[in-house]
Homo-oligomer: A and B are copies of this chain.
């Protein structure tokens, strides 16, 4: 993992800026012979696409993905897959007035400080538009996983928006695709729509808590000590724009548990070990247990807001920033498909790593055999 590349064997390098001609992902290390076409990727991109409800940025991007290499007659060839998405609706004029401005809470200032120059149009490389490339690459990972782990199911959803949490008692996975918040709680979806409308009108924004799970992953994935499955999932999620915290299973709350509470007791089931609880989030010692993998992360509120905030200009003089333009009032919403894509990439990468070292796609050690 380095700079703009993610993954050990299934390696994704994303490139492109918010207002450049295009952005995309170079996917290397993909297994050969997997059915793949642009339509399969477009399916996932359409979920992340902006402008699908009044709750996300009104920038109109078709996010149409082209496959430029690595696929022949509908199958991957094992060579690098280049995925390109043209930027269509760049209104750079919206951003012209902030070329010398640093939005509080935004990467404007650090990119300038690090490099001595920056592409200020729409946030340049630090824009959440980069995540479109991740979703496209995640689509490739899903196509491969479909053939290697047909029972795998990855599911992302919001569990909180600002201070508003879902009621776990009302959890209904079938609701996730039925509302613009990817929230598994119909009541929350209704409430949050009102909350977010008000927030936007107030010139403000909200943070979010996202959960992404994977069921059907075998025991044995994960590579101690510095490429643990949870280490790589934490890195994957933390690399998404605006993420400030990542947790696995009980997560930060694990700190307040006792050993007896934290121990997921084990019974023998028909197909192997069965755990009574899942405080571990499906990972022990960096290696998957075969239980559901549970990752949660916090997305900070969008820093581009119309409420004035104090800042400085590049020359050091004081400045009050009011960010117009077409911004997500809760950027966490669109992080859901991105998190699913990162989960897919990490799981495939670890499946390949495990296969490399052991020759198997599942556990070598057979309990109860």
Stretch at the interface among A40-48, A168-176, A183-191, A361-369: A361-369
| Contact flag A267-B318 (CB < 8 Å), given A4-B224, A75-B117, A364-B32 | yes
A102 at the interface (CB under 8 A from B): yes
A8 at the interface (CB under 8 A from B): yes
Complex interface: chain B residues within 8 A of A315 (CB): 367-368
A154 at the interface (CB under 8 A from B): no
Q: B26, A13: Cβ atoms under 8 Å?
A: yes
Complex interface: chain B residues within 8 A of A252 (CB): 209, 244-245, 247, 251-252, 298
Which one of B238, B273, B290 lies within 8 Å of A230 (CB-CB)? B238
Q: B77, A119: Cβ atoms under 8 Å?
A: yes
Number of copies: 4
Which one of B114, B204, B219, B249 lies within 8 Å of A258 (CB-CB)? B204
Q: A15, B82: Cβ atoms under 8 Å?
A: yes
- How many whole Å from A353's CB to the nearest CB in chain B? 7
Residue of B nearest to A221 (CB): B114
- How many whole Å from A137's CB to the nearest CB in chain B? 11
Q: B29, A3: Cβ atoms under 8 Å?
A: yes
A324 at the interface (CB under 8 A from B): no
- Chain A 280-291 per-residue mask, 1 if CB under 8 angstroms from chain B, else 0: 110111111110
Jot down 8 A-B pairs with beta carbons below 8 A, ordered by A.
A17-B79, A77-B125, A103-B263, A104-B263, A113-B363, A125-B224, A245-B248, A246-B247
Q: Which 7 A-B pairs have the closest CB atoms?
A: A107-B285, A316-B368, A245-B247, A116-B364, A205-B259, A356-B356, A110-B287
